[in-house]
């Protein structure tokens, strides 16, 4: 990873902040550490990071509120730092568009691995190679893997997070095939789903809210009870 890759860490614990920033910098990243959300807007504008590491529990404005604010104007990948007991907040973070979460206490090596995986997805890289320039068309929608953009039937761009893009791409690559939650998340995020982890369901719910005519009665991404999900649309693959 380039030494110019900029990571913004928002973490109020100075010991954790120092440890994480030190390890990231030794791993070839440039870091900015904020103790709360007050300086986030300034950094996002003046020195935009490639990725934001965002603690949930912060003094003043909490991590969920900051994530919501970032998402209104920036597509920057976000990794939430959460405690094991904060499942509801983790799900809320994913609802707001976070790309991943890491539970405390965490291994710094695991954290760097997660950061690199999210950055590869956001930059359109898989295993260090550019994605094959292919577009998928379904039900009037078009998913362009070269620009990593989604366009609705009217040609209007619909914003996706990197994780939402990967999930939809996987569905388009496997239409009509039941995708188990574990398999889906492993392909999209590069990790296995933890027992009772609802992040896959949250991710699918977010996708449905963006592409389904009626998210409450999905017709494109259907739930297969006790098995996972199936993408029912007819998909046309176009080489570019």
Write down the residue that tokens 């991590």 correspond to. 63
What would the pLDDT profile of 54-109 be if each residue is shown by its tens digit? 998 888 898 888 998 888 888 889 998 887 555 666 666 666 677 888 888 888 88
Task: Evaluate the CA torsion angle 215, 76, 70, 135 in order and state its sign.
Answer: negative
pLDDT band at 188 (very low <50, low <70, confident <90, very high): low
pTM of the model: 0.58
Q: Say which CATH architecture domain 129-239 belongs to.
A: Orthogonal Bundle (1.10)
Q: Where in the chain is the domain with CATH 1.10.10.10?
A: 129-239
CA distance 37 to 34: 7
User: Are 183 and 167 a contacting pair, CB within 8 Å?
Assistant: no
Domain 6-123: CATH superfamily, name plus number: Response regulator (3.40.50.2300)
Q: In 3-state terms, what secondary structure has residue 232?
A: coil
The Cα-based distances of 206 to 14, 94, 185, 235 in angstroms read 34, 9, 14, 20
> Which ranges in the chain are annotated with CATH 3.40.50.2300?
6-123
List pLDDT tens digits, range 37-57: 999 999 998 999 999 999 988
Q: Cα separation of 143 and 152, whole Å?
A: 9
């Amino acid at each position: 990873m380039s030494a110019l890759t900029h990571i913004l860490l928002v973490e109020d614990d100075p010991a954790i902040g120092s440890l994480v920033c030190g390890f990231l910098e030794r791993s070839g990243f440039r870091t900015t550490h904020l103790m709360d959300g007050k300086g986030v807007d300034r950094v996002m504008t003046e020195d935009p990071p490639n990725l934001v590491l965002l603690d949930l529990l912060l003094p003043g404005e909490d991590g969920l509120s900051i994530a919501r604010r970032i998402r209104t104007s920036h597509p920057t990948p976000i990794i939430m730092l959460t405690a094991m007991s904060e499942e509801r907040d983790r799900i809320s973070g994913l609802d707001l568009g976070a790309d991943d979460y890491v539970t405390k206490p965490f291994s710094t090596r695991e954290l760097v691995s997660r950061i690199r995986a999210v950055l590869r997805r956001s930059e359109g890289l898989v295993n260090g190679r550019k994605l094959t320039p292919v577009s998928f068309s379904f039900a009037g929608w078009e998913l362009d893997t070269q620009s990593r953009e989604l366009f609705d039937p009217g040609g209007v761009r619909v914003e996706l997070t990197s994780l939402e893009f990967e999930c939809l791409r996987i569905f388009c690559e496997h239409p009509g095939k039941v995708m188990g939650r574990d398999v889906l998340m492993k392909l999209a995020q590069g990790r296995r789903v933890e027992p009772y982890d609802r992040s896959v369901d949250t991710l699918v719910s977010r996708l449905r809210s963006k592409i389904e005519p009626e998210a409450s009665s999905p017709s494109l991404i259907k739930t297969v009870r006790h098995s996972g999900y199936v993408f029912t649309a007819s998909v046309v693959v176009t080489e570019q």
